[in-house]
Amino acid sequence: MGYPDAYVLRPLTVPPGMFQGTLPVVFSFSQNAVFKPVWIPLDMRFGMTDQLEFFLTHNALGAPLAAGNGGLCLGTKQYCQKTYNNLNVGGQFSFAKGKGLELSGLLAAEFKEFSPHLLFAVDVGVGVKYVNAIFSAKATPRLGIEVNRRSTENGQETIGMPVQFALQAAPRIAAFADMGLFGPTNQFGSRYTIPVGVGGDFLLRHGFDVGAEFMFPALGRGSAVAGKATDSRTLMLYAVWRNP
């Protein structure tokens, strides 16, 4: 399909006819809560045309997968409200490519909770990726617009600005750093979080990658976010399969 093996060269959308599935397993390494819980925020993407992809994901506002808090939650009720309680369904359209720069737009229906009450939002955003030889930078800022239960504490708009920097260290090996800025628009200055993580990707063969990432999901945080900056820690192991 002409889809590049090099991690940094991969475009924002997968090509037509391609399926890409990412199976991440995110372990909590937080203080006094090692492996409590374990998340599996499955990510699936389907190439519809040269520019359009359809996706099913479980990470809120495009947050790094290593942040967890989505998809299957394996643990006791103390750590998992429900075993499965969220889903994002949407599409991304790449409308400009050239000279190492790609731009896209995206729209998603974000089912933030199924139970005990349905909490639904519409996410709108853009994608930007810049590639220069063995280096790439990618950002996908989004705004989550709440649709129902707006009078509740969670019924408000949210902002997500995930950013990733990647370096192709060798033909099959890449290193990357994930970070971003997330929070509700209401009292954003005291309720924001900044995740920071570092990881590596290894291409086993064409169409199949494995990798790992260690993250502090809230290394930066507002004054209203409980705990210390380094108390929350996660380790993600993942595999990515593309066909054809």
The count of other CB atoms within 10 Å of the CB of residue 140 is: 21
Domain ranges in the chain are 7-243
Position 227 scores a pLDDT of 86
Position 117 scores a pLDDT of 87
Position 56 scores a pLDDT of 98
Report how far Cα 92 is from the mean position of its chain's Cα atoms.
14
Of the options 2.40.160.40, 1.20.120.1080, 3.40.50.620, 3.90.320.10, the CATH number for the domain spanning 7-243: 2.40.160.40
Between CA 15 and CA 149 the distance in angstroms is 37
The count of other CB atoms within 10 Å of the CB of residue 98 is: 7
Position 6 scores a pLDDT of 97
Give the residue from 133, 138, 130 showing the smallest Cα distance to 164: 138
Position 137 scores a pLDDT of 98
Token couple for 116: 């005990």
30 beta partners = 33
Q: Please list the rounded mean pLDDT of every run of 10 residues in the chain (244 residues).
A: 88 96 97 92 97 97 95 93 96 95 98 92 97 96 89 76 98 98 92 97 97 97 91 96 94
| pTM attached to this predicted model | 0.94
Give the residue from 238, 180, 167, 177 showing the smallest Cα distance to 63: 180
91 contacts 55 by C-beta, under 8 angstroms = yes
- End-to-end distance of the chain based on CA atoms, in angstroms? 7
Between CA 123 and CA 144 the distance in angstroms is 4
Position 155 scores a pLDDT of 58
Between CA 73 and CA 32 the distance in angstroms is 18
Helix/strand/coil for 61: helix
